[in-house]
Amino acid sequence: MANYRRNRVAGGTYFFTVNLADRDSHLLVDHIDVLRAAVREVRHRRPFHIDAWVVLPEHMHAVWTLPEGDDDYSGRWLAIKKAFSKGLPHTESTTNARIHQGERGIWQRRFWEHTIRDEADYAAHINYVHFNPLKHGWVQHVAEWPYSTFHRAVKQGIYSEDWIGVEDDGIAAGER
């Protein structure tokens, strides 16, 4: 089995990309209420702060800050994936290997994580999260995408409703 190296900083802030196994699927937005319930359930048991989040049809990006002394983001993602999967009917195709491992075949097995280094890195990743629906061509204006913390950030005065995002966001291509 591969030994994946994860940077773990207790109480740290992290950027994540989490993908469905079927990159042509719209499962995440088609079942957004199931996903939201899964996140609420996990946050109730294992709190974390959602700094930013965007849910696209087949993948999502998030920036989380964990409680002081806690570095277990992997356990939280596992719990979110499990709770979401349990809330869906068994319609996906899967392999014998996944069945043997007790997996449904909904999610890619891994996720991508980046530890936020400083305020500039934080701002770049928050902007990247919110710009993502426009980047992928799902909307013409960031505010049109309903599955994003962008709307919360507008209410907090962080963005204006007509923010168009920035394509050159300062994030290296390998960090997405």
What confidence category does residue 173 fall into, taking pLDDT thresholds of 50, 70 and 90? very low
Whether residue 106 lies inside any domain: the answer is yes
How much is the average pLDDT of 114-139?
A: 95
How high is the pLDDT of residue 165?
73
Whether residue 67 lies inside any domain: the answer is yes
Residues with a catalytic annotation lie at 147
How much is the average pLDDT of 146-169?
A: 86
For residue 139, the domain's CATH number is 3.30.70.1290
Whether residue 169 lies inside any domain: the answer is yes
Whether residue 22 lies inside any domain: the answer is yes
Contact present, 130 and 149 (Cβ < 8 Å): yes
Q: If you average pLDDT over every residue of the chain, what do you get?
A: 87
What confidence category does residue 4 fall into, taking pLDDT thresholds of 50, 70 and 90? low
Whether residue 138 lies inside any domain: the answer is yes
Q: Which strands sit side by side in the sheet containing 13-19, from one edge to the other?
A: 49-55, 59-65, 13-19, 112-115
Q: Which residue has the higher pLDDT, 117 or 97?
A: 117
> Residue 20 above 80 pLDDT?
yes
Whether residue 3 lies inside any domain: the answer is no
Identify the domain containing residue 18 by its residue range: 13-175
Q: Where are the alpha helices (DSSP H) in the chain?
A: 27-30, 32-45, 73-86, 96-100, 119-135, 150-155
Q: Which residue has the higher pLDDT, 117 or 109?
A: 117
How high is the pLDDT of residue 147?
98
pTM of the model: 0.85
Number of domains in the chain: 1
